[in-house]
Chain A
Amino acid sequence: MVAQQLLNGLFLGAVYALFAVGYTLVFGVLDILNLAHAAIFTAAAFAAFSLAAAGVPLPLAFLIAAVVGGVLGILLDRVAFAPLRRRNAGTLVPLISSIGVAIIIGAVLRGIYGVDELHFVTGGRDAGTTIHLGPVTFTTVELTIFVAAVVLMLALSWVLRSTTLGRSIRAVAQDRIAATLLGVDLERTIAATFFIASSLGGAAGVLTGLEYNSVTLDMGSPIELKGLAIIILGGMGSVTGAVIGGFIIGAVETLAVAFGLSEWRDAITFGVMFIILVARPSGLFGKRALRQA
Chain B
Amino acid sequence: MNRSSLSTLAFIAIVALATPSFAASKGPAAGKTVHVGVIADVTGGAGVYGTPQKNAYELANDDLKSGKLDAGGANLSFDVQDAASDGAQVVNILQKFMTDGSTAMVLGPTLSGEAFKAYPIAARASYPVMGTSTTAEGVTAIGPSVFRDSLAESQVIPTTVKRTHDKWHYKTAAVIYGDDNAFTKTDGDIFTRELKSAGVDVVDTETFHQKDTDFQPALTRIESKHPDVIAIGALFPEATKIIQQAGKLGIKAHMIGGNGLNAPDMYSVAGPAAQGTVVGAAWYSGAKYPSNLEFVKAYAAKYGKGPDQFAAQSYAAAQIVAYLVAHGSTTKEEMLTGLRNVRVIQTVLGPIGFDSNRDAKSSPVILSIVKDGFSYFH
Q: Is the CB of B250 within 8 A of A115?
A: no
Interface assignment of B179: CB less than 8 Å from any CB of chain A = yes
For B274, what are the chain A residues with a Cβ–Cβ distance below 8 Å? 124
Contact with B along A64-108 (1 / 0, CB 8 A): 000000000000000000000000000000000000000000000
Question: Measured between C-beta atoms, what is the minimum distance from B29 to chain A in Å?
Answer: 35
- The residue that A266 contacts in the complex, of B51, B209, B270, B273, with Cβ under 8 A, is B209
Provide the bound-state CA to CA distance between A163 and B42, in Å: 49
Residue of chain A at shortest CB distance from B241? A212
A-B contact pairs, 15 of them (CB 8 A): A1-B224, A4-B220, A115-B42, A116-B48, A124-B268, A124-B272, A212-B213, A213-B244, A214-B240, A216-B237, A222-B211, A257-B206, A258-B217, A262-B206, A262-B217
Question: Measured between C-beta atoms, what is the minimum distance from B378 to chain A in Å?
Answer: 23
Contact with B along A113-136 (1 / 0, CB 8 A): 011110100111110001010000
Instruction: Specify which of A115, A122, A132, A139 lies most central, judged by the most chain B CB atoms within 10 Å of its CB.
Output: A115
Q: Is the CB of A12 within 8 A of B211?
A: no
- 4 smallest CB-CB distances across A and B, nearest first, come from A124-B271, A115-B47, A257-B217, A263-B207
Q: Is the CB of B218 within 8 A of A126?
A: no
Chain A, interface size: which category?
Answer: 35 or more
Question: Measured between C-beta atoms, what is the minimum distance from A286 to chain B in Å?
Answer: 30
Contact with B along A1-32 (1 / 0, CB 8 A): 10011001100100000000000000000000
Provide the bound-state CA to CA distance between A221 and B44, in Å: 12
Provide the bound-state CA to CA distance between A281 and B213, in Å: 31
Give residues in A with beta carbon < 8 Å to B.
1, 4-5, 8-9, 12, 110, 114-117, 119, 122-126, 130, 132, 137, 139, 208, 211-214, 216-219, 221-222, 253-255, 257-258, 260, 262-263, 265-266
Q: Is the CB of A123 within 8 A of B221?
A: no
Q: Is the CB of B271 within 8 A of A125?
A: yes
Q: Is the CB of A12 within 8 A of B214?
A: yes
- The residue that B269 contacts in the complex, of A1, A124, A265, with Cβ under 8 A, is A124
Q: Is the CB of B269 within 8 A of A119?
A: yes
Q: Is the CB of A124 within 8 A of B244?
A: yes
Instruction: Specify which of B217, B269, B273 lies most central, judged by the most chain A CB atoms within 10 Å of its CB.
Output: B217
Interface residues of B in 241-277 (CB under 8 A from A): 241, 244, 248-250, 267-274
For B209, what are the chain A residues with a Cβ–Cβ distance below 8 Å? 222, 265-266
Provide the bound-state CA to CA distance between A222 and B214, in Å: 11
Contact with A along B12-42 (1 / 0, CB 8 A): 0000000000000000000000000000001
Number of B residues near A (Cβ < 8 Å) is 39
Instruction: Specify which of B207, B223, B270, B273 lies most central, judged by the most chain A CB atoms within 10 Å of its CB.
Output: B207
Give residues in B with beta carbon < 8 Å to A.
42-43, 45, 47-48, 51, 179, 204, 206-209, 211-214, 216-218, 220-221, 223-224, 236-237, 240-241, 244, 248-250, 267-274
For B241, what are the chain A residues with a Cβ–Cβ distance below 8 Å? 212, 214
Q: Is the CB of A115 within 8 A of B43?
A: yes
For A222, what are the chain B residues with a Cβ–Cβ distance below 8 Å? 209, 211-213
- The residue that A8 contacts in the complex, of B217, B223, B244, B267, with Cβ under 8 A, is B217
Provide the bound-state CA to CA distance between A209 and B218, in Å: 20
For B212, what are the chain A residues with a Cβ–Cβ distance below 8 Å? 222
Q: Is the CB of A5 within 8 A of B268?
A: no
- The residue that A117 contacts in the complex, of B48, B218, B273, with Cβ under 8 A, is B48
For A254, what are the chain B residues with a Cβ–Cβ distance below 8 Å? 217
Provide the bound-state CA to CA distance between A27 and B223, in Å: 42
For B224, what are the chain A residues with a Cβ–Cβ distance below 8 Å? 1
- The residue that B248 contacts in the complex, of A137, A255, A265, with Cβ under 8 A, is A137
Q: Is the CB of A132 within 8 A of B45?
A: no
